[in-house]
Amino acid sequence: MSEGQTTRQLVVFSLGDEEYALPITQVHEIIRYTEPRSVASDVDWVRGVISLRGKIVPVYDLASRLGFASERKESAKIVIVETATDMAGVIVDDVEEVLTVESAQIEDVPAADNESIEAIAKIDDRLVILLNPAGIFASAGTIAGSGEPSGNGVADLVHA
């Protein structure tokens, strides 16, 4: 590895036949799937909330958020993700592994103008889509009953 080369650790998980990843620095923990308690929401990818050691955490269906249908698998997990201001869970089919990738293996996605996708990691013959947690949760702030965001991002969900 050259001096200018940096590495990143990624948590790789599956959704359908595709592999996605989140930066390990933003993954708080991974738990077995448990059915979230429903909350009223106009956003179809919001599945509800769970209590994680006494803290209310909103849960999102990541497949639906990214725009494709996915049946819940028996191996489903909830990945608890932290952004600078919020914590939320995303439902994934299964968690595969933790990978260390070099910056040379990560490329921008020229065709993607989706705020949820940060880049693509090329690992041997695999392409792993690196997600941007802040982008995934970006439109969750308007979930409050008034339809107006309070500025608290996912915290608005709890007040819905």
Per-residue pLDDT tens for 136-153? Answer: 877 665 333 333 333 444
Residue 34 has pLDDT above 90, yes or no: yes
Spell out the alpha helix ranges (H) of 16-67: 62-65
Instruction: State the residue range of the domain holding 108.
Output: 9-158
What lies within 8 Å, CB to CB, of 5 at 6+ separation is 102, 103, 104
Choose the weakest-confidence range: 27-41, 44-58, 62-76, 118-132.
Answer: 62-76
pLDDT of residue 141: 55
CATH number at residue 124: 2.40.50.180
Higher pLDDT, 93 or 1: 93
pLDDT of residue 139: 65
In-domain check, residue 34:
yes
In-domain check, residue 38:
yes
In-domain check, residue 54:
yes
Query: What are the pLDDT digits (tens) for 94-132?
Result: 999 999 999 999 998 876 556 888 999 999 899 999 998
Given pLDDT bands bounded at 50, 70 and 90, which one contains residue 85?
A: confident
Residue 13 has pLDDT above 60, yes or no: yes
| H/E run at residue 156 | helix 155-158
**Cα separations in angstroms, 72 against 11, 43, 133:** 20, 19, 21
In-domain check, residue 127:
yes
In-domain check, residue 4:
no
In-domain check, residue 3:
no
Residue 158 has pLDDT above 50, yes or no: no
In-domain check, residue 94:
yes
In-domain check, residue 93:
yes
How many domains does one find in the chain? 1
CB 29 within 8 A of CB 140: no
